[in-house]
Amino acid sequence: DIQMTQSPSSLFASVGDRVTITCRATQSISSYLNWYQQKPGKAPKLLIYAASSLQSGVPSRFSGSGSGTDFTLTISSLQPDDFATYYCQQSYSTPLTFGGGTKVEIK
């Protein structure tokens, strides 16, 4: 099974900060990597698919990069609506696996 490791598990940031979250796979997954945002009490929401493609309707301050085993989600200028938990997920092979999540909190 492919394990997905996110870092950090939590971070504190201020509005306007540039935030970077990393996700590492235990083997190459090409670009089969998706990023989701989840707010408390809500279902997850797709932000980035295929490592770097922005889902329709998602603000352009979100971007994704990487291929192979190392991936990054970047929020260029953190907004109040962005405080949430972020998950990466590989769709290269089953079992599909998620990272453990990164909680972005207000500093």
* Contact positions vs another protein (CB under 8 A): 1, 34, 36, 38, 43-46, 49-50, 55, 87, 89, 91, 94-101
Least Å distance between CB 87 and another protein? 6
CB nearer to another protein: give 17 or 72: 72
Pairing of strands 10-13, 102-106: parallel
Which residue type is seen at 38?
A: Q
Q: How far is the CB of 42 from another protein (least distance, A)?
A: 8
Tokens of 77: 């200028």
CB of 106 to another protein, least distance (A): 20
Cβ nearer to another protein, comparing 44 with 68: 44
Helix (H, G, I), strand (E, B) or coil at 80: helix
Contacts of 85 by beta carbon, 8 Å cutoff, 6+ apart: 37, 38, 39, 101, 102, 103, 104
Q: Which is nearer to another protein, 82 or 87 (CB)?
A: 87
